[in-house]
């Protein structure tokens, strides 16, 4: 460790005044693990001050220590060492890099779980499929990189550009603070949740209307931004897609980092599309909880709705009908018998389910499922409330029990809400 204290200058040709030494010393950031903070980092700081009278670096980023899925330190004797090359062969380098970034809470422990890596491999597939969908709809025809976003009139297009601006600001702030996990998780939520799950679906009917060209330009710009923002974490798939989707004047690694921000956020468009998404998600959740057949289209009734909600629904009813599987909408003064309530901001809707599902059988199923979950959670809580168990059990076992209890609590709450809905209708 004493001789390693000379590493910042010793690797660059010191004591000769080499070109490398002039260029790379001092540096800005040292990246290392917290376990050698005193052994190495402190010695480098003191040694450089003593030998060349200069601070070798100005910031120290302490990354997490990689452990196995149960939180145990990797060692050959335990046989839990993971070869990164084997992971790359199976899941791809981008999936492994994204996993490391998403779990890189400052100074924490990185539990390397292959199931999580597999999930991020699916994320790369999701991005690829979004670009493939765009190709099939003429988005990439004669496309070149555009530094500025297109002019958009459609609410959906103004909404997604605002979401892109918001995630750009979030990512920049996270990278500036070395919070790589915040940057990765924000990009994951945006690319998968906003772009792939919602915008791609919202754009489909627009490709056949008056706003087709605007939508193609918007989608091309948004997907370009996805590639640029993801590139530092997932360089391989983004570079490949970059060259497959347009005539580029430079590689993705050299693309200008975006600087747009709040000027792209249209408050009205954001509010309207978030309301529409909330309505669709609420209907989908109710259908799923009560096991309404996925492909079955339901009639929906409108009990009350604010003027703002009415305008938003009128502009987006085609999207609601398609994505929530709604066959018709009727305004009523009272909910029909056998209807469950769908409440959203500023309004109340109903889904008549009489004759669609067996209400009595569904109530019985939900009650049995809830009772089973409550019994299982009570057993776990009994162990967690036992001081001897918490003190003597391995840390990963206690942590897993707490996570399981939290998941069961969420399930019990969800089942309770579904039961309350059914209690109201019979």
Asked if 322 and 316 touch (Cβ cutoff 8 Å), the reply is no
- Tell how far CA 23 is from the center of its chain: 38
Residues of the chain with pLDDT under 50: none
278-352 and 359-425: identical CATH topology? no
Query: Which residues partner with 305 through β-bridges?
Result: 347
Per residue in 46-89, pLDDT tens? Answer: 999 999 999 999 999 888 777 777 777 777 777 777 788 999 99
pTM here is 0.83
Q: What is the rounded distance in angstroms from the CA atom of residue 79 to the CA atom of residue 406? A: 31
Which tokens go with 180?
A: 């790589």
- Relative to beta strand 347-352, strand 339-344 is antiparallel
List the CATH code of the domain at 359-425.
1.10.287
pLDDT at 296: 92
pLDDT at 107: 56
pLDDT at 51: 95
92 φ/ψ sector (left φ>0, alpha ψ -120 to 50, else beta)? left
- Please report, for the chain, the start and end positions of each structural domain, with discontinuous segments joined by +: 3-87+99-111, 113-265, 278-352, 359-425
113-265 maps to CATH 3.90.1640.10? no
- Which residue's entry shows tokens 């056998």? 338
- Relative to beta strand 109-112, strand 298-305 is unpaired
pLDDT at 426: 60
CB atoms within 10 A of CB 129: 12
306 CB contacts (<8 Å, ≥6 apart)?
A: 346, 347
Which one-letter DSSP state was computed for residue 207?
Answer: G
Which tokens go with 164?
A: 């892109």
389 CB contacts (<8 Å, ≥6 apart)?
A: 383, 398
**What is the gyration radius of the CA atoms in the chain, in angstroms?**
27
Fold type of domain 278-352: hypothetical protein PF0899 fold (3.30.2320)
pLDDT at 145: 86
């Amino acid at each position: 460790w004493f001789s390693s204290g000379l590493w910042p200058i010793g690797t660059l040709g010191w004591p000769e005044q080499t070109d490398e030494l002039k260029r790379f010393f001092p540096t800005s950031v040292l990246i290392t693990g917290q376990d050698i903070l005193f052994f190495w980092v402190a010695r480098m700081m003191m040694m450089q001050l003593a030998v060349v009278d200069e601070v070798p670096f100005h910031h120290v980023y302490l990354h997490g220590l990689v452990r196995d899925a149960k939180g145990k330190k990797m060692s050959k004797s335990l046989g839990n060492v993971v070869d990164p090359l084997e992971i790359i062969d199976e899941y791809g380098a981008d999936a492994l890099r994204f996993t490391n970034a998403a779990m890189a809470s400052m100074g924490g422990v990185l539990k390397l779980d292959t199931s999580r890596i597999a999930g991020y491999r699916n994320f790369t597939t999701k991005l690829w499929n979004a670009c493939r969908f765009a190709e099939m709809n003429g988005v990439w025809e004669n496309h070149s990189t555009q530094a500025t976003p297109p002019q958009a009139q459609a609410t959906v297009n103004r909404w997604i550009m605002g979401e892109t601006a918001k995630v750009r600001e979030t990512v920049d702030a996270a990278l500036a603070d070395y919070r790589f996990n915040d940057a990765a998780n924000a990009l994951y939520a945006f690319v998968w949740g906003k772009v792939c799950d919602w915008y791609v679906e919202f754009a489909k009917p627009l490709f056949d209307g008056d706003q087709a060209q605007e939508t193609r330009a918007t989608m091309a710009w948004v997907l370009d931004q996805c590639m640029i923002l993801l590139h530092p974490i997932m360089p391989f798939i983004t570079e490949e897609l970059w060259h497959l989707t347009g005539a580029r004047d430079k590689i993705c690694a050299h693309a200008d980092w975006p600087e747009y921000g709040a000027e792209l956020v249209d408050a009205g468009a954001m509010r309207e599309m978030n309301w529409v998404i909330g309505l669709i998600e609420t209907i989908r959740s109710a259908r799923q909880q009560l096991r309404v057949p996925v492909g079955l289209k339901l009639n929906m009734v409108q009990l009350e709705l604010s003027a703002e909600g009415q305008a938003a629904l009128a502009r987006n009813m085609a999207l609601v009908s398609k994505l929530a599987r709604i066959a018709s909408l009727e305004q009523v003064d009272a909910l029909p018998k056998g209807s469950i309530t769908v409440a959203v901001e500023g309004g109340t809707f109903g889904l008549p389910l009489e004759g669609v599902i067996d209400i009595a059988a569904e109530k019985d199923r939900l009650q049995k499922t809830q009772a089973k979950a409550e019994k299982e959670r009570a057993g776990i809580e009994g162990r967690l409330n036992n001081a001897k168990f918490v003190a003597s059990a391995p840390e990963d076992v206690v942590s897993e029990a707490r996570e399981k209890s939290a998941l069961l609590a969420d399930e019990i709450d969800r089942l309770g809400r579904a039961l309350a809905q059914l209690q109201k209708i019979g």
